[in-house]
Amino acid sequence: MSIYSAALRPECVRSLVCMNLTAGPKAAEVIAHAYHGENADDVRAGGLDALRDGNQDSAARMDDPELVEELESVGAEKFIAWSDAEATFVRTHAVDGYPLVAIRSDTLARIRAPSLGIHTFGGFDGMHTAEAIRNFASGVSGSECEFYDPRTV
C-alpha cells in the first residue's frame, strides 16, 4: 500500500522506505493464496460467518459492524467471485512489466518521494529477494537500496 500511496498521492508522501519486497511467481502464488484464496475457501466451506474463524486479518474485519453489514449485502457468492478474481490478478501480475508482485513499472516511475529499499533476507524463501529491492530501486528515480545480511547484523 505504501508504494501505491506514494505513486498515486505523491503530495501526501514525504519519503518512502520499503523493506523485504516480494517479486516473482512464487511470491505471487503465496500472496494470492494467503490474502484471497484462503478467505474464498473459508466462505465456500462455511459461508460468510466462516471469516470470523479464518485468518487473523479476516477475523479482525468481522469485528467491524459496518464491514459485516457490507459483506452481508454483497453475499457469499459475490465475495467468493471477488476473492477469486483478486487471487488471479496477483498470480498473473508477477512477470513482465511487474518488477514487484502486482506493482507495474509505470507505478514505480510515478513515485517522487526520496525512497529507500532495504533487504535483510538471504533470499532463502524465494519471495523476498534482493532482485525485488533492485527492481524497486531501478524503478524509482533517485532511490537507494541497502542490503544487510541478517546473520551479521
Nearest to 99 by CA among 38, 18, 37, 33: 18
Query: What would the pLDDT profile of 91-108 be if each residue is shown by its tens digit?
Result: 888 776 688 888 888 999
Share of the chain above pLDDT 70, in %: 89
pTM of the prediction? 0.70
Please write the tens of the pLDDT for every residue from 55-83: 555 655 677 888 888 888 999 999 999 99
More confident residue, 139 or 64: 139
Q: For position 96, what pLDDT does the model report? A: 66
Residue 19: which of 100, 104, 106 has the closest Cα? 100
Task: Convert 34-67 to b/e letters by CB count within 10 Å (16 or more is b).
Answer: ebbbbbbbbbeeeebebbeebeeebeeebeeeee
